Chain A
Amino acid sequence: MKFTFSSISIFKMIRLTRHITFILLFILINGNHQAQQVTITVTGSWSLTIGSSDLQGGAGSDLNSTYQSATNQVSINIDKVVNGNFWDWFVNYNWRVDVEKQDTNWDSRLQLWVHRSGNGFGFGSISGGTNYQQVTNSTTSFFSGSRRRFWITIQYELRNVSVQVPVDTYSTLVIYTVTEL
């Protein structure tokens, strides 16, 4: 009688299979935490005060109707950490940025408009959003591009201001959402 499998090698196989299984389990759990996620970072804000110095022509005149922020009032970074080093600048992925606002205290006569005033920096592309568009309480597409891109500058315009807007402090949250395409 000849035995092709010894008891010792069978147990070795079982142990090896057990080790491989646990290693794969470890990768499964940890790999989930390290999933690559496109991110957007918005830096800056806009605060505007309107008073008597903004009258068109002294007593009897209305307020100027339109006000602009600085061209670089707000900047946006689009990023995705893949390697965690310089080579992340060259990782290729496409993305789109949408914009909307959520009012805290707002007058319906006031109109907030936004446009992309700069291209930022990156080795990919960027397009859209250079013409002013109104920021509403619904999500609308703003601009799109590819790869990591930093320091994309944003400019605002407030329109339709008049003396008919009551004295008050108005506030709204402008939300930018990036979606990897």
Chain B
Amino acid sequence: MRQNLISKSTRKEMRKMKKLLVVVIAGMFLLGLSGIGMAQTGSDNHTVTIVINEIAEINVTTASITLTVTAPGTPGADPQGDTDNTTYLQYTSTVASGQTRTIDAKLDAAMLSGLSLAVQATPGSGEGTSAGSVTLSTTDQSVITSIGSCATGTGGTDGAQVTYTLSVTDPTQLTINAGANYTVTYTLTDDA
């Protein structure tokens, strides 16, 4: 008679080991499956930085103009002044959001007695606001205000057209001369 003698506790131990082995093998199987099912990804990155700097560039299109006081058409009337509108102010401006600029103008010397020189600048749309007719002096005065970011263009008639008006304010103070030269300076500046 052959008998297999395995005690109850031994059989219990063997069953426990068998269960643990099954769980471990199942876990390895599932791990392998999950590796097959999921697409592996990785990522990396870097920064792109763009700096836009302020730009304030202005150009006057004519090197010089000539304004002449002439005799009146009617004797006894005041001598006549002169006008010129061949000059343009061309400018490029970049500003931070909400910021604006102004173009000021001034003479380098006081006008001859009995005369005044006025300037009126007319900018294009989106290129500032005209300050109207401004009588020039040796002190900066605004001729175009509220200029934001813009570029007027560089063609022959691009930019703010400037109309100069020479007026006789007191004919009794006029004196004959060969010509007086003045420099008009335009400055594009930040508003406070």
Residues of chain A at the chain B interface (Cβ within 8 Å): 1-5, 7, 10-11, 13-14, 17-18, 20-21, 24-25, 27-28, 31-32, 35-42, 44-52, 55, 57-63, 74, 101, 104, 110, 112, 156, 158, 161-181
Contact = CB atoms under 8 A, between A and B. Distances in A.
Interface of B: 1-7, 10, 13-14, 17-18, 20-21, 24-25, 27-28, 31, 35, 39-55, 57-59, 90-97, 99, 149-154, 158-159
Nearest to A46: B48
Main secondary structure of the interface of B (DSSP, over half): mixed
A24 B21 contact: yes
B92 A174 contact: no
A10 B96 contact: no
A21 B20 contact: yes
Given A42-B45, A60-B152, A177-B43, A17 B21 contact: yes
Contacts of A74: 46
A166 B95 contact: yes
B57 A58 contact: yes
Contact of B45 (A32, A50, A173): A173
Contacts of B46: 42, 44-46, 74, 173-174
A163 B3 CA distance: 100
Contacts of B51: 47-50, 169-170
B53 A28 contact: no
Nearest to A166: B97
Q: 7 smallest A-B Cβ distances: which pairs?
A: A60-B90, A59-B57, A51-B53, A59-B59, A177-B43, A42-B44, A60-B154
Nearest to B19: A21
A153 to B, nearest CB: 14
Among A161, A166, A179: residue with most chain B CB under 10 A: A166
A2 B91 contact: no
Nearest to A77: B44
B149 A112 contact: no
Nearest to B90: A60
Contacts of B91: 59-60
A103 B114 CA distance: 63
A4 B2 contact: yes
Nearest to A14: B13
Interface centre among B50, B93, B95 (most CB of A within 10 A): B50
A5 B20 CA distance: 23
Nearest to A57: B154
B25 A24 contact: yes
Contact of B92 (A31, A55, A177): A55
Contacts of A177: 41-43
Contact of B42 (A18, A25, A112, A178): A178
B24 A5 contact: no
B25 A45 contact: no
A71 B162 CA distance: 47
B49 A47 contact: yes
A24 B24 contact: yes
A48 B52 CA distance: 9
Contact of B95 (A40, A41, A112, A167): A167
A18 B13 CA distance: 10
Nearest to B51: A49
Contact of A180 (B1, B39, B152): B39
Contacts of B14: 10, 13-14, 17
Nearest to B46: A45
